[in-house]
């Protein structure tokens, strides 16, 4: 079995450091659910990232990391993907990642069993990413994503409804998250409730997780909401977690809103530091235009943090209606934040509700669903 995602590593002293959204918990899930699996990966050491902020890859006996030079042309990458697909019996491709689209093409060409991990709304992800080349690519990549959903033998959607509606298929399919959470101790919720109780009713810290160049994440919407709340007499600090290349653009918008002194860029953090970061904010706001499940949202919810999401995304599947907004609606976002600041009983309820919802995504439950699915794939083994 070959797994194709956007898997990248940095090599330092023969150790691998994980780049991007993957982490050792996800690899634990892959190893347990998929059995022996090869993961096509790329070495991006040439970019020279700061490894002190990256998670070190823990060796997994059931996973074979096929590491290739990431500093090669797209056409050479396609050749690497082709050769690895030819060697596999089953190809698992996470759409709408471009490497995975290429893998789907070769899986069909060489009559391999094709499993699609449906992970994102391709059109929205590229249209709202920022930059002309992404907008131009959105429609054709969305068409390819639809095509390979229809051509797949099996599909595992990370949503329960959103992606199923976007990419219908007659393939054998299930809806199951790719987020795995460890069981969170009850004292975490107790600390959250104590934090809410201690709030002065006039100030709070709101966090957002996402790279600053990802326009669709809604950084400017949150900044605008902070400016609105300042005019209403509230002190709202904002913390952005994640790397990024457009901090200056976000600062310029903050200056226009009169809140440039309220913005903090926290950069990347090692995975084991993220929960501590969440514990130090009062609200997690995800005013995003694109989200197929919400790893960041679920991690926030597992800490009892009230989480604000958007109707246009799969966040609407896990967040109650009273904490939802339409993307770019800064006034609605400001209203929700204001209610969480001023109404402690409401904030208590939101914290408890978040904590309870996160229990549905505990590791054992998710991993067993996925394990049963991939056991079926291996058992049936051949294309219909």
**192 and 331 housed in the same domain:** yes
Query: Which DSSP letter does residue 167 get?
Result: S
The C-alpha atoms of residue 89 and residue 111 are separated, in whole angstroms, by 9
Whether the CB-CB separation of 253 and 220 falls below 8 Å is answered with yes
Say whether both 157 and 256 belong to one domain.
no
| Average pLDDT per block of 10 residues along the chain, 384 residues long | 92 87 81 90 87 85 92 94 96 92 96 93 81 86 95 93 92 88 89 94 94 88 96 95 87 95 89 90 94 85 95 92 95 97 96 93 87 90 52
Residues 203, 352 within the same domain: yes
Determine the pLDDT at residue 294.
74
- The closest alpha carbon to 289, from 238, 218, 213, belongs to 218
Question: Looking at residue 154, what is its pLDDT?
Answer: 96
Identify which of 104, 76, 84, 95 has the alpha carbon closest to the alpha carbon of residue 39: 84
CA triplet 135, 117, 62: central angle to 5 degrees?
130
Domain co-membership, 345 together with 205: yes
Query: Six-digit token pair at 275?
Result: 């929960």
Name which of 117, 91, 119, 111 is nearest 103 in CA terms. Answer: 91
- Same domain flag for 65 and 108: yes
Same domain, 163 and 237: no
* Contact call for residues 121 and 163 (beta carbons, < 8 A): yes
| 270 shares its domain with 371 | no
What is the spatial distance between Cα 5 and Cα 50, in angstroms, rounded to a whole number? 22
Q: What is the pLDDT of residue 46?
A: 87
| 153 and 14 in a common domain | yes
d(CA 372, CA 39): 20
**What are the Cα distances from residue 111, in Å, to 173, 183, 383?**
19, 41, 7
- 239: domain CATH number is 3.40.50.2000
Same domain, residue pair 229 and 251 = yes
In a shared domain, residues 171 and 210 = no
Q: Are residues 93 and 206 in the same domain?
A: no
Sign of dihedral through CA atoms 371, 303, 184, 325? Answer: negative
Number of domains present in the structure of the chain: 2
Give the CA distances from residue 278 to residues 53, 234, 292, in Å, rounded to whole numbers and listed in that order.
Answer: 17, 21, 21
The predicted structure's pLDDT at residue 383:
47
Q: pLDDT value at position 360?
A: 87
Q: What angle do CA 167, 375, 179 make, to 5 degrees?
A: 55
Phi/psi of residue 320, nearest 5 degrees: -65, 155
Interhelix angle for 247-257 vs 219-231, to 10°?
20
pTM: 0.82
In terms of domains, do 164 and 204 share one? Answer: no
Residue with tokens 């030819």: 86
- Domain extent for 7: 2-180+363-380
DSSP string, 326-373: -TT-HHHHHHHHHHHHH-HHHHHHHHHHHHHHHGGGBHHHHHHHHHHH
């Amino acid at each position: 079995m070959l797994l194709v995602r956007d898997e990248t590593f940095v090599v330092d002293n023969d150790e691998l450091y994980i780049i991007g959204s993957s982490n050792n918990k996800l690899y634990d899930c892959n190893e347990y659910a998929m059995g022996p699996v090869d993961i096509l990966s790329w070495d991006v050491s040439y970019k020279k990232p700061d490894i002190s902020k990256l998670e070190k890859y823990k060796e997994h006996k059931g996973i074979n990391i096929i590491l290739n030079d990431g500093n090669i042309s797209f056409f050479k990458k396609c050749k690497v993907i082709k050769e690895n697909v030819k060697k596999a019996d089953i190809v698992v491709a996470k759409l709408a990642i471009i490497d995975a689209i290429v893998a789907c093409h070769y899986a069909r060409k060489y009559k391999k069993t094709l499993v699609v991990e449906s992970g994102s709304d391709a059109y929205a992800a590229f249209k709202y990413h920022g930059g002309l080349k992404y907008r131009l690519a959105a429609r054709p990549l969305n068409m390819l994503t639809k095509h390979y959903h229809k051509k797949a033998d099996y599909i595992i959607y990370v949503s329960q409804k959103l992606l199923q509606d976007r990419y219908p298929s007659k393939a054998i399919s299930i809806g199951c998250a790719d987020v795995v959470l460890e069981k969170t101790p009850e004292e975490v919720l107790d600390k959250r409730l104590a934090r809410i109780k201690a709030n002065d009713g006039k100030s709070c810290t709101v966090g957002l997780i996402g790279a600053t160049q990802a326009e669709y994440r809604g950084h400017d919407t949150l900044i605008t909401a902070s400016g609105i709340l300042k005019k209403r007499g509230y002190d709202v600090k904002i913390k952005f977690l994640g790397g990024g290349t457009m901090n200056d653009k976000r600062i310029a918008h903050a200056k226009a809103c009169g809140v440039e002194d309220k913005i903090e860029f926290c950069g990347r953090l090692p995975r084991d530091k993220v929960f501590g970061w969440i514990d130090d904010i009062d609200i997690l706001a995800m005013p995003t235009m694109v989200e197929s499940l919400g790893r960041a949202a679920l991690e926030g919810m597992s800490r009892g943090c009230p989480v604000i999401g958007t109707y246009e995304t799969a966040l609407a599947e896990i967040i109650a209606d009273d904490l939802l907004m339409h993307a770019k609606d800064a006034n609605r976002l400001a209203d929700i934040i204001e209610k969480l600041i001023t109404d402690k009983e409401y904030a208590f309820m939101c914290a408890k509700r978040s904590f309870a919802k996160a229990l549905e995504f505990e590791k054992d439950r998710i991993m067993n669903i996925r394990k049963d699915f991939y056991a079926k794939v291996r058992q049936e083994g051949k294309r219909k």
